Structure 1
């Protein structure tokens, strides 16, 4: 996730938006290669927004108690813009008061959010275990051993799954944003990766050296959390948000090698931002995540490329990807047009592009 230096991408839906009363549970197709609705087996292409914070950088949980009307307005606007999936990020510290004690008030608020999604006719990609604001991370959480931390994370997901199990608005559970397995023979010192602005998007799932391979550790962690979810929810899809350097290649690696860790995942997610002059390289990276399961580009934006190169990447990515999720921070096209900044102009241009080309994109994707 590159939200702090990233302008929100607003995308146009490539699938018909379902009325709230007609929201159907989403599942994997019979051939295992795409998404379909459960009852009618209609193709479903995830296309939408990361709705992680507002324009002031506040996380959703910082303002959903005091500014709910704004959230309702944002959901309505996201639907109007064409999103069929909204990615929501929730922090561990906001949902857990102790290793074994979920916060009931937070779970209830999450339930209200699902009701809003159902009324609006939008699916939720629910990403958990966030530690984006370091000040919100409980001291006791950082003091846990690897095993104890996994147990607390399992309690988190079990409580969330119990709350969400019956809602057709859940598209998927994303176990964590950009997890990494500790590397090296020395004890690690920080669960969080370097900050980007005031947020930490990369998180380690271990700090202790381990004789197992890093992919084996990642697979065991995924299995632990999937089992916790399945205690209450056998229906909704499960994934995890992987960094592009998860592939087993020379250089920096996360340990989450797609074909070695994904036995218990329903589909694959990657966060991929093409760079200037490197569209083909981005495509090769994307290809590495194509392992026979549906593949969603869960984060993308022309952060490091020109709009033209990003468009080229987006169109070419249809060869491997089955869904795309950009960014939305609560501003309309008219608001961007009224601002006289380069950032606003870029955002406005991209919004216009997606609105204009969405139907064509849909026809060529299906």
Structure 2
């Protein structure tokens, strides 16, 4: 979700699109490719994980190629070992926007198909300037290409400044059709010196073997169709009346604004839960059910999106206590549909000893809630911003009455065009002549309904293998994206075919996602536009779909 500017999640969404391969390709820069080989080491072990690839800087061919491109191999690693070193002067054009100094080393990604892996290395920086886009900077990056999702990038992002040796890592899923794997070292859009050592790719898990699809799904008909909630602090009764008039029968209500420090946490939580009680009462009066979504998390996130929840136990303790408090207070409210424990989990590094990872933490919270509330559904989200890719490795959790949630903003070049400053809107550039249209060709691939279906296939496979219920908690396309109405219609058509419940992002939040605003481009910094004078095509799509919801009935107390 991206709220009205200032947009706290805009940087995180940019990182999300980079990690999923949907945003940045180095333009007009110097992409340097070393055709020499590195070391594949599939049989070696490190820290209990299988080391598949280790970059061998002692290889004379690798060293010669690096030095021929203006970088170095020096004996200045963390323990005096060999490391890669590159320097870009302050006045170099390589430090400019969209440029950089990157050297590529090929590896056989085909053998990693279907695996969950991590690329990691030790990184040191000296006077690395702040990059034009915060997902750039020093890079220890893995790249491969998929016929469905295109070029995929995985790196920590946002690495700049002067700092001692530290680990950079990024976890990612390798597509079943992955090809063209490279490890890229260097820097993008910044000056200074970077050193990188001990670069490797490790296999964390292999794709599970699914059982045969069930003969008959328990949840094969869509029951809930609705919205992400309006801005919570400004919710009025008319908003709920209007959502019901559109036909909505559910809302994913985001509990956001969590303070990073513990001292202000209780005051914040008390205020937000009082607002939630008001929302529940308004929803009940209008025949709407609510999913409560912990949208911004205790402790916040690192620059690569990693939740501090998976790094520090104090935030995990907060999370458990928060959900216990919510369950005790609201478990019997007739408008409550489900608990959505963590919004868009991301974990790019291993949790310290004694700290749960992203899934173990959700299971811990779910079991704590179940001790208080045995009936209200609990929603689980997957690592990687809750994208469909994460379902490739997912196994059902041993908790009763769980709904699995997915978010759909693919392809990001289409759904988010103009949302971030790098795409020109905030710079006053007219991007309409080069706007990305749906259906149409995006990165040399035709993107249409069948490609959307292919992208969502991991979720469908998981649903059919284990007979579970799916909720699409967010999907959208920015209002000025050409073909946005068709995109929404195609997404909804697939959701309905599969019997998935869904919530459109969003209703009366940021105008960029609003179906009540027209399709005109907006220049950031100018006044927010007014509602459209005529019903938009996107509104027509949503209203038609929501008309399938049953007429509202008086809410009944839970059994």
TM-score in terms of structure 1 length: 0.62
2:334 corresponds in structure 1 to 168
For the residue of structure 1 that corresponds to 2:456, the secondary structure is helix
Q: Residues 315 and 340 of structure 1: is their aligned pair in 2 closer, same or farther, counting only changes over 3 Å?
A: closer
Alignment equivalent of 1:313, drawn from 466, 470, 491? 491
Q: Do structure 1's residue 244 and structure 2's residue 387 form an aligned pair?
A: yes
1:223 corresponds in structure 2 to 363
Tell me: higher relative CO, structure 1 or 2? Use CA pairs within 8 A at least 6 residues apart.
1
Describe how 1:8-23 pairs up with structure 2 within 5 A.
none
Alignment equivalent of 1:183, drawn from 349, 365, 376? 349
Q: Deviations for 1:47-106, whole angstroms, at most 9, x for unmatched residues?
A: 0000152xxxxxx2xxx3xx5xx5211111111111100111113736996599574444
**Structure 1 residue 143 displacement after superposition:** 10
**Structure 1 residue 281 displacement after superposition:** 3.3
Alignment equivalent of 1:283, drawn from 453, 470, 488? 453
Distance in structure 1 (CA, Å) of the matches to 2:263 and 2:250: 31
The answer to whether the 8 Å contact 1:111/1:163 transfers is: no
1:110 corresponds in structure 2 to 276
Q: Deviations for 1:96-134, whole angstroms, at most 9, x for unmatched residues?
A: 965995744443332222222212221101101524997
**Structure 1 residue 268 displacement after superposition:** 1.1
Alignment equivalent of 1:85, drawn from 229, 232, 250? 250
2:407 corresponds in structure 1 to 271
**Structure 1 residue 341 displacement after superposition:** 3.3
Number of matched pairs? 278
Q: Do structure 1's residue 33 and structure 2's residue 218 form an aligned pair?
A: yes
**Structure 1 residue 297 displacement after superposition:** 1.3
The runs of 5 or more residues in structure 2 that have no matched partner are 8-215, 302-306, 412-437, 439-446, 523-530, 551-559
The answer to whether the 8 Å contact 1:127/1:176 transfers is: yes
Distance in structure 2 (CA, Å) of the matches to 1:266 and 1:228: 14
Distance in structure 1 (CA, Å) of the matches to 2:358 and 2:259: 25
The runs of 5 or more residues in structure 1 that have no matched partner are 7-30, 36-42, 54-59, 136-140, 185-205, 250-256
Describe how 1:68-217 pairs up with structure 2 within 5 A.
71-91=236-256, 93=258, 98=263, 101=266, 103-128=269-294, 130-131=296-297, 146-183=312-349, 206=351, 208=352, 217=357
After superposing the two structures, state which structure 1 stretch, 71-80 or 301-310, moved more.
301-310
1:259 corresponds in structure 2 to 395
Q: Deviations for 1:27-56, whole angstroms, at most 9, x for unmatched residues?
A: xxxx87329xxxxxxx77110000152xxx
Q: Residues 284 and 3 of structure 1: is their aligned pair in 2 closer, same or farther, counting only changes over 3 Å?
A: farther
Query: Quick check: which has more Rg, 1 or 2?
Result: 2
After superposing the two structures, state which structure 1 stretch, 223-232 or 105-114, moved more.
105-114
**Structure 1 residue 172 displacement after superposition:** 0.6
Q: Deviations for 1:202-228, whole angstroms, at most 9, x for unmatched residues?
A: xxxx5x479x9xxx9333111211122
**Structure 1 residue 349 displacement after superposition:** 1.5
Distance in structure 2 (CA, Å) of the matches to 1:100 and 1:340: 39
1:28 corresponds in structure 2 to none
For the residue of structure 2 that corresponds to 1:247, the secondary structure is helix
**Structure 1 residue 339 displacement after superposition:** 6.3
1:19 corresponds in structure 2 to none
**Structure (1/2) with the larger helix percentage:** 1
The answer to whether the 8 Å contact 2:388/2:456 transfers is: no
The answer to whether the 8 Å contact 1:258/1:289 transfers is: no
Distance in structure 2 (CA, Å) of the matches to 1:323 and 1:143: 28
After superposing the two structures, state which structure 1 stretch, 321-330 or 98-107, moved more.
98-107
For the residue of structure 2 that corresponds to 1:267, the secondary structure is strand
**Structure 1 residue 174 displacement after superposition:** 0.4
Q: Residues 287 and 320 of structure 1: is their aligned pair in 2 closer, same or farther, counting only changes over 3 Å?
A: farther
**Structure (1/2) with the larger strand percentage:** 2
Give the alignment's Cα RMSD to 1 decimal. Answer: 4.2
Alignment equivalent of 1:328, drawn from 477, 489, 507? 507
Distance in structure 2 (CA, Å) of the matches to 1:131 and 1:123: 23
